[in-house]
Amino acid sequence: MLSDPLLTGISRQELDALAASLAPAQAAQTEQRCYQQRGGPRRKAAGTHGRPLLCDADRVLVTIVYLRQICSQKVLSDLIEVNPFSIGQAIAETRQLLDEHRHTVTPTTLRFTSQQALLDFVHHGTTVRRPRLPAVLSDPSLTGMSRPKLHQLIERLSVQQAAQIERRRHQRRGGARLPGARGGVFRQKITDAERILATVLYQRGVCTRRVLAELFEVSPRTIGNALLEVRPLLEQNGHVATPAKTRFSTAAALLASVTPAHGQHNTTESSR
C-alpha cells in the first residue's frame, strides 16, 4: 500500500530499481554497524540471526514516504506495526545513502496525521492537503521582487544556511557527529526556503512575527530564530528590503490581499 505512486512520487518500477541500486550500500552499512557494535571483526561466520523487522526494500520505502512528509514516524510505526526506534534508525541510515547517491526526495502537499487518515486516502481517495503557502506568500506584491529573483535568492542562501546549521550543530556537539548518529533526520518545522521567505516578508514590514507564525503554523519563537539566522545571510548577499506599502495585522487579511487578479496586474513591484 505504501508503495502507491501517489505516496512515493515515483512508479513501482522506479522504486524497485532504486531499492536494487541501494542494496549493496545497505549491506555494507549493516556490516559497518555490526562491526562497531561488536567492537571488532566477527568471530563466527555470518548468519541469518532471524528475520529483520524491515528488509532493505522496506527501509527504502519507509524513508521515501517519510521524507515526502506524508506522515510522521509514529503513523508509520502504527501502520506497519514496527517500533518507532527501528523506524527512526531505518530512516536515518537510508537517508544518508540517498544523499550519497544524490537522490532527491521532493516533499508533497499531502499530509496524514493518523493511520486511519492515510488508509482512507489509499482506499477511498479522501485527501488532506497542506496549503501551498510559499506559492501564495511569494507573490511579488508581498516580497517586492519577481518570483524568479526570489527563487535565485533562495537558491543562493540555502547552501549557506545549510552550512550554518551544520556549523552550529558541530559547536553544540563539541566535535564531529558520532558513528550511528541520526544526522539530522528530523526535518525542521519549516523548510529553509520558508525561513528565507518569512525573513524577506518581515524585513519589508509586511506583517508581524505573530502573523508569520500563524501563516506557517509554527511558534513565534521559531520565526524569531529564523529571522536571527537568515537576516545576516541576506545582508552578506547585499539584499536590501524595500518597505511594503501595506502592513497586515492578521493572516486572513494578508491572504485575502493576494488574489489571482492582483498577482497578474501588480507589475510595479514585480518588476523591481
pLDDT, tens digit, 9 for 90 and up, residues 135-177: 889 999 999 999 999 999 988 887 776 666 666 655 665 665 5
Of 62, 81, 57, which Cα lies nearest the Cα of 72? Answer: 62
Look at residue 169 in the predicted model and tell me its pLDDT: 59
Please tell me what DSSP assigns to residue 140: H
Confidence category of residue 70, pLDDT binned at 50, 70, 90? confident
The residue with cell 548518529 is 181
Quick one: average pLDDT of 179-193? 55
The stretches of the chain forming alpha helices (DSSP H) are 5-8, 12-38, 56-67, 73-80, 84-100, 115-124, 133-137, 140-143, 147-173, 192-204, 209-216, 220-236, 251-257, 260-265, 267-270
Q: Which residue has the higher pLDDT, 71 or 50?
A: 71
Look at residue 120 in the predicted model and tell me its pLDDT: 87
Find out whether 195 and 226 touch, Cβ atoms under 8 Å: yes
* Mean pLDDT, the chain, integer: 80
Quick one: average pLDDT of 196-215? 94
Look at residue 267 in the predicted model and tell me its pLDDT: 38
Of 118, 162, 144, 157, which Cα lies nearest the Cα of 236? Answer: 157
SS3 129: strand
Got the DSSP string for 88-113? HHHHHHHHHHHHHTT------SB-BS
Confidence category of residue 191, pLDDT binned at 50, 70, 90? confident
Report the alpha-carbon distance of residue 44 to residue 105 in Å, rounded: 39
218-246 per-residue burial string, b: 16 or more CB within 10 A, e: under 16: beeebbeebbebbeebbeeeebebeebee
List CB contacts of 12: < 8 A, sequence separation 6 or more.
Answer: 3, 5
pLDDT, tens digit, 9 for 90 and up, residues 258-267: 865 444 444 3
C-alpha cell at 195: 525561513
Look at residue 174 in the predicted model and tell me its pLDDT: 67
Q: pLDDT exceeding 90 applies to what percent of the chain?
A: 32
Quick one: average pLDDT of 30-43? 67
Residue 184 has pLDDT above 50, yes or no: no
Report the alpha-carbon distance of residue 150 to residue 200 in Å, rounded: 9
Q: pLDDT exceeding 70 applies to what percent of the chain?
A: 75
Distances (CA, A) of 204 to 71, 175, 231: 34, 38, 12
Q: Would you call 134 exposed, middle or buried from its count of C-beta atoms within 10 A (0-12, 13-18, 19+)?
A: middle
Quick one: average pLDDT of 209-232? 89
Confidence category of residue 186, pLDDT binned at 50, 70, 90? very low
